[in-house]
Amino acid sequence: MAALFEGGQLEIVRVPQHPFEGKTILARMHSLDGKLYELFVSNCEYVVNWALTRQSVSPQLRFFGAVVGLGLAALILASGGRAAA
């Protein structure tokens, strides 16, 4: 199994243990039927995490935001901290 994840990360996904829990998760998912998809507010990762854990989080978007923030900081430092005129 180590070869399958060499150089990457193994992520353990939580699976419902009881039928009632699965029905509750599906009910949460269906409660969002008809709501608009928004990339930065309610994307598929947010929705699935919320349905499973009641926490709307997106580690992928957090990482993307950190990369963009570091890129902007690097641009500002490279320009000597001067604002574009």
Q: What average pLDDT does range 35-53 have in this prediction?
A: 80
Q: How confident is the model at residue 16 (pLDDT cuts 50, 70, 90)?
A: low
Q: What is the DSSP letter of 42?
A: B
Nearest to 56 by CA among 73, 78, 35: 35
Average pLDDT score over the chain: 76
